[in-house]
A = this chain, B = another copy of it.
Amino acid sequence: MARKYASLDNLKFLLYDVHNIEELFDYEYFKEFTSATIDMMLDASIDFSNRELFPFLSEMDRRGVAFEDGRVTVHPQIYNVLRKLGESDWINATRSFESGGMQLPQMMHYATEFIYTAANNPAIGYAMLTAGASKLIYSFGNDELKMNYATNMLAGKWQGTMAMTEPQAGSSLSYITTRAQHKSDGTYKITGQKIFISGGDYEGIDNIVHLVLARIDGSPKGTKGISLFVVPKMRVERDGNLADNDVITAGIFEKMGQHGYVTTHLVMGEQDNCVGYLVGEENNGLAYMFQMMNAARIGVGLMGAAIASAAYYASLEYAQERPQGRHAGSKNRDEKQVTIIHHADVRRMLFLQKAVVEGSLSLIMECAKYMDLSAAGKGEKYELLLDLLTPIVKTYPTEMGIVSVSNGLQCLGGYGYCVDFPLEQLYRDIRIATIYEGTTGIQSIDLLGRKMIMNDGRSAKLLAQAISTTIQESAAFERLKPDAKLLEEVVVSYKIVLKKLVSKAVSGRTESFLADANLFMEFCGLMVIGWQWLKQGISACKLLEKNAENVLFYESKIRTLRYYFSYELPKTQGLITRLLDNEDITLKEEKEYLI
Contacts and interface: CB of A to CB of B under 8 A. Distances in A.
Given A431-B417, A583-B566, A441 B591 contact: no
A119 interface: no
Contact of A418 (B222, B253, B325): B253
A337 interface: yes
B255 A417 contact: yes
Contacts of A518: 345, 348
Given A324-B172, A514-B328, A552-B593, A347 B413 contact: no
A123 interface: no
A112 to B, nearest CB: 22
Interface in A507-535: 510-511, 514-519
Contacts of A427: 256, 431
Contact of A573 (B432, B441, B574): B574
A345 B515 CA distance: 6
22 contacts: A9-B595, A168-B324, A168-B337, A169-B324, A170-B414, A174-B333, A195-B414, A220-B333, A253-B414, A254-B420, A256-B427, A342-B591, A344-B587, A345-B441, A345-B445, A346-B441, A347-B591, A410-B440, A413-B435, A428-B428, A562-B583, A573-B574
B428 A410 contact: no
Given A342-B591, A347-B591, 6 more contacts: A172-B325, A329-B510, A345-B444, A348-B516, A567-B578, A570-B575
B595 A556 contact: yes
Contact of A515 (B348, B418, B445, B517): B348
Interface residues of A, number: 104
Which of A414, A428, A510 has the largest count of B CB atoms less than 10 A from its CB?
A: A414
Contacts of A382: none
A416 B417 CA distance: 20
Interface string A419-441: 11000100110011011000111
Given A441-B346, A514-B328, A577 B586 contact: no
A257 interface: yes
Nearest to A439: B413
Given A439-B410, A511-B329, A578-B570, A347 B418 contact: no
A106 interface: no
A256 B417 contact: yes
A175 interface: yes
A485 to B, nearest CB: 14
B196 A328 contact: no
A588 interface: yes
Contacts of A585: 348, 351, 559, 562-563, 566-567
A253 B257 CA distance: 19
Nearest to A575: B570
A424 B325 CA distance: 34
Nearest to A571: B574
A402 B428 CA distance: 13
A239 interface: no
B172 A337 contact: yes
Interface in A541-595: 552-553, 555-556, 559-560, 562-563, 566-567, 570-575, 577-578, 581, 583, 585-588, 590-595
A169 B324 CA distance: 7
A165 interface: yes
A334 interface: yes
Interface string A470-493: 000000000000000000000000
Contact of A419 (B254, B432, B591): B254
A289 interface: no
A586 B344 contact: yes
Nearest to A348: B586
A227 interface: no
A235 B522 CA distance: 58
A577 B170 CA distance: 41
Contacts of A444: 345
A106 B106 CA distance: 62
A592 B552 contact: yes
Contacts of A324: 168-172
Given A323-B168, A562-B585, A417 B441 contact: no
Which of A170, A221, A354, A586 has the largest count of B CB atoms less than 10 A from its CB?
A: A586
Nearest to A225: B333
A555 B593 contact: yes
A413 B574 contact: no
Given A222-B333, A515-B348, A594-B350, A577 B570 contact: yes
A566 B328 CA distance: 37
A167 B83 CA distance: 44
A522 to B, nearest CB: 11
A594 B316 contact: yes
A392 interface: no
Contact of A570 (B432, B514, B573): B573
Contact of A432 (B254, B328, B417, B594): B417
Contacts of A514: 328-329, 344
B414 A165 contact: yes
A518 B345 CA distance: 7
Given A165-B414, A439-B410, A555-B593, A172 B326 contact: yes
